[in-house]
C-alpha cells in the first residue's frame, strides 16, 4: 500500500493472507527467470528458500539494487519472519516506511515520532539516550556517510558535491 511496485503477474498478498500466516511470496522478474526459467506464468507455483516452501502469488518488475529499502528478490509477509516480532529490545531489525497524505503532513509525522521516542523508558544501566530518526531517502544515506545522531549530514553532502562540481568546472579554465 505504500510502495509503488509494478506487477507483471498476479497481485500482492492480502491482509487475510497475513492474518492466516499463509506462506505466500511476490518475486522479482529476475527471480522468476532465474528460478523457473523462461515460462510465461508462475503464479500458483512453489518456490523454496531457507528450507521453506512459498506459493508465488505475484511477480513485480525489478527494483534497482541501489534502492536497498525496497529492493528484493523475494517479498514475503513480515509475519512469516523467524525473528521474534514481540521482541521489545532497542536494536530492532525492521525499517518502517510511511506514506503521508501530502508533504505538508511530514512535520507533524516527524514530531509525533519524536514524541513517541521520548516516551520510551530506558532499560538497564547501559543506555542514557535513544536515537530515532525520521529521515527522507536522501537523509538516510547522508546520515550514514556524513552525519551522526544530531545531524543528518545533508549540508556536508551538499558542500562536498558543490566543491566537486566547482573543481570539475575549474579544470577547463586551468
Model pLDDT for residues 94-119, shown as the tens digit of each residue: 677 888 889 899 899 989 988 888 88
Model pLDDT for residues 104-157, shown as the tens digit of each residue: 998 999 899 888 888 887 766 577 777 777 877 777 778 777 766 667 777 888
Unique residue bearing C-alpha cell 513480515: 78
- The CA distance from 157 to 142, in Å, is 7
Q: Indicate whether this model's pTM tops 0.85.
A: no
pLDDT at 88: 65
Asked if residue 159 has pLDDT above 80, the reply is yes
Q: Name every residue whose Cβ is closer than 8 Å to that of residue 28 and which is 6 or more positions away in sequence.
A: 59, 60, 61, 62, 63, 72, 73, 74
Asked if residue 35 has pLDDT above 90, the reply is yes
pLDDT at 150: 67
- The CA distance from 43 to 66, in Å, is 27
Amino acid at each position: 500500500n505504500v510502495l509503488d511496485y509494478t506487477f507483471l503477474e498476479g497481485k500482492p498478498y492480502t491482509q487475510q493472507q497475513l492474518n492466516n500466516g499463509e506462506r505466500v511470496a511476490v518475486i522479482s522478474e529476475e527471480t522468476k527467470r532465474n528460478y523457473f526459467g523462461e515460462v510465461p506464468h508462475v503464479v500458483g507455483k512453489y518456490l523454496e528458500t531457507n528450507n521453506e516452501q512459498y506459493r508465488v502469488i505475484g511477480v513485480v518488475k525489478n527494483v534497482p539494487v541501489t534502492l536497498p529499502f525496497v529492493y528484493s528478490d523475494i517479498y514475503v509477509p513480515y509475519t512469516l519472519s523467524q525473528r521474534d516480532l514481540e521482541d521489545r529490545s532497542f536494536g530492532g531489525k525492521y525499517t518502517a516506511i510511511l506514506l503521508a497524505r501530502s508533504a505538508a503532513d511530514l512535520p507533524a509525522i516527524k514530531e509525533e515520532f519524536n514524541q513517541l521516542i521520548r516516551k520510551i523508558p530506558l532499560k538497564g544501566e547501559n543506555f542514557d539516550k535513544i536515537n530515532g530518526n525520521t529521515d527522507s531517502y536522501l537523509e538516510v544515506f547522508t546520515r550514514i556517510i556524513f552525519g551522526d545522531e544530531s545531524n543528518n549530514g545533508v549540508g556536508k553532502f551538499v558542500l562536498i558535491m558543490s566543491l566537486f562540481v566547482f573543481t570539475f568546472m575549474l579544470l577547463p579554465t586551468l
